[in-house]
Structure 1
């Protein structure tokens, strides 16, 4: 099964990650986060598989995160409320998000992506 690469093409970090995958001949299924944002069921599954806290999946540098003042509100949300919120808008989700058999990669970290090289 090919990894699912969820990103926003205008994001420079996403472009760097995509370039890494392409340059290393790592096949993936591309998914645009703005037109095909993960739904709550997908997020629930991936968050559970990752063992990361839900907060790690939020794009804390994003404009929408700041506009919604989520820094102050996130601690008061239940896990289910946070997942539902993440599923409402791709701009809230940290990107890129790579779902693979090797694990769930949140953001682009070259040293972690290197583990995908056959």
Structure 2
């Protein structure tokens, strides 16, 4: 079962939930990232799944990202500092965030999703 974090009424979250179901994955109901954020452990899994590129975890187009100037800070942060910040501030996480406890993904890139979740993106 895959946990999906996002915003229920967000078209991108809905699109990826539908795509994953079409590929045979079972998903939880969408967990509202305003109310419930991925754990530090889940964020660490995503970091490794997303080729250890911190920016792949970040909602770089979000208002909060810009208002706190994270663009200029992220390269000086340790991975643990980044995970703690993302766990505290779910709106900094690129959505949707999916995890089954062993692997995780962020965003809507079909290339990343098919690589991580091992499905044919042409289906």
Q: In which range does the TM-score fall when normalised by the shorter chain? A: 0.7 to 0.9
- Contact 1:50/1:103, CA 8 A, preserved across alignment: no
8 A contact 2:96–2:107 mirrored in 1: yes
Indicate conservation of the 8 Å contact 1:26/1:116, yes or no.
no
Equivalent residue pairs, number: 117
Q: Corresponding residue for 1:8? A: 7
Gap regions ≥5 residues in structure 1: none
Cα distance 1:103–1:35, how it changes in 2: closer, same or farther (>3 A)? same
- Aligned-pair Cα RMSD in Å: 2.7
Counterpart for residue 95 of structure 2 = 95
Q: Which moved more, 1:97-106 or 1:36-45?
A: 97-106
TM-score of the two chains, using structure 1 as the length reference: 0.79
Runs of 4+ in 1 over 6 A off after TM superposition: none
The verdict on how the C-alpha distance between 1:41 and 1:101 changes in structure 2, with shifts beyond 3 A counting, is closer
Unmatched tracts of structure 2, length 5 or more: none
